Amino acid sequence: MGLGLGTGCIALCNLFHTSVDFYISVEYIIFMNSKELEKLLRRLGATFENHKGGSGHRTVRLNGKTSQLPRHGSRKELGTNLVEKIKKDLGVK
């Protein structure tokens, strides 16, 4: 029994034919260091307060809300989740 162009091929093709819906999800991953995030927040009107004792963090205030911004150096990027958390804490979209 061959799988030529006869009825066997039609049955086989119908057997393996499926309908697939594709959903495309696009996420924007933002890579930035603390200096770039600080610049962005300054443009939005945020103020920054240094901590005594060199803790490596700054308090950010915007519209009555506060968050902590780490200062890990200009070459170290902040994690995407950390950037999103800081923005959420300050009410920035």
Whether pTM > 0.75 for this model: the answer is: no
Would you say residue 68 lies in a domain? yes
Would you say residue 47 lies in a domain? yes
Strands (E), 1-93: 32-33, 47-50, 57-62, 65-70, 77-78
Domain extent at residue 37: 7-90
Would you say residue 2 lies in a domain? no
Residue of 23, 26, 92 lying closest to 69 (CA atoms): 92
Would you say residue 1 lies in a domain? no
Q: Tell me which H or E stretch contains 81.
A: helix 80-90
Would you say residue 56 lies in a domain? yes
Would you say residue 34 lies in a domain? yes
93 residues of the chain, pLDDT tens digit each: 454 555 544 444 455 555 555 565 555 566 788 888 999 999 999 999 988 777 788 999 999 999 999 887 778 888 888 999 999 999 998
Would you say residue 83 lies in a domain? yes
Could you give the angle at the alpha carbon of 66 between the alpha carbons of 63 and 37, nearest 5°?
A: 90
Our count of domains for the chain comes to: 1
